[in-house]
Amino acid sequence: MAVGARTRSIYRPPWRIDLSVRAGIPVVLTQAALAETVRAALEVAGAPGPASVGLILTDDAEMAGLNLAHMGVSGPTDVLAFPLLPPGSFPGHEDRPVSAPADVAAAAFPRPPGTRQHLGDVVVSVERAIDQAGGGRGGHTGDVRWSAADELRLLATHGTLHLCGWDHAEPSEEAAMRALERRLLGIG
């Protein structure tokens, strides 16, 4: 854990959201609102429970390091997701049929009673969210002007959906994912 990071576990049954805020990161959205954002995405994506998710709020410097190390891309990005389960562990949807039973991960990795499956971690640059929102470059389309809080909600939603097997590599997948994000955020 980074020096000065604050971590808090927030329970939204059947999930636990482990929220870590790095030192010096501005508060643009309450922790309760962030946890509810993640919970809503987990629910609609059919995430198994009980389970946990890590949500790390950081800055561009840390994101640049993660982006280079894990994606091979120089410079910061707004959100990265590190799923621990294969996409087939989640219910399919119109643009991604189920390729394996939804309980394949649970069956492959039995856990002691009372423990939670960790679904993965989402890392968000709050600095990037503030910059994108303030510059009218938010909403993944790069042309949405809204609050930094709304941009942060979008990025947390987006990363959580990635943990649950959603992707946007193909145009049809992207359209489905963007539509779901808009629905979860209550826009358009």
pTM to 2 decimal places:
0.88
Strand partners, 7: 20
Please give the torsion angle defined by the CA atoms of residues 157, 174, 62 and 54, in that order, rounded to the nearest 10 degrees. Answer: 40
DSSP string, 67-98: HHHHH---S--SEEEEESS-GGGS--BTTB--
What is the predicted pLDDT for the residue at 19?
A: 97
Checking if the pLDDT of 145 tops 60, the result is yes
* pLDDT for position 137: 73
What is the CB neighbour count within 10 angstroms for residue 3?
Answer: 6
Fold of the CATH domain 6-185: Collagenase (Catalytic Domain) (3.40.390)
The average pLDDT across 61-72 equals 97
Q: For 42-60, how does the pLDDT look when each residue is reduced to its tens digit (9 = 90+)?
A: 999 999 999 999 999 999 9
Lowest mean pLDDT among 13-27, 46-60, 66-80, 130-144: 130-144
pLDDT-based confidence at residue 96 (cuts at 50, 70, 90): low
Among 31, 135, 15, 34, which residue's Cα sits nearest to residue 79?
A: 34
Q: Which of 5, 15, 1, 61 is nearest to 164 (CA)?
A: 15
* Mean pLDDT for the stretch of residues 117-134: 95
Using a pLDDT cut of 90, give the percent of the chain over it. Answer: 68
Confidence of residue 13 (pLDDT cuts 50, 70, 90): very high
Residue 136 pLDDT more than 50? Answer: yes
pLDDT of residue 91: 85
pLDDT at 107: 44
pLDDT at 101: 47
- Backbone dihedral region for residue 186 (phi beyond 0: left; psi -120 to 50: alpha; all else: beta): left
Between 77 and 5, whose confidence is greater?
Answer: 77
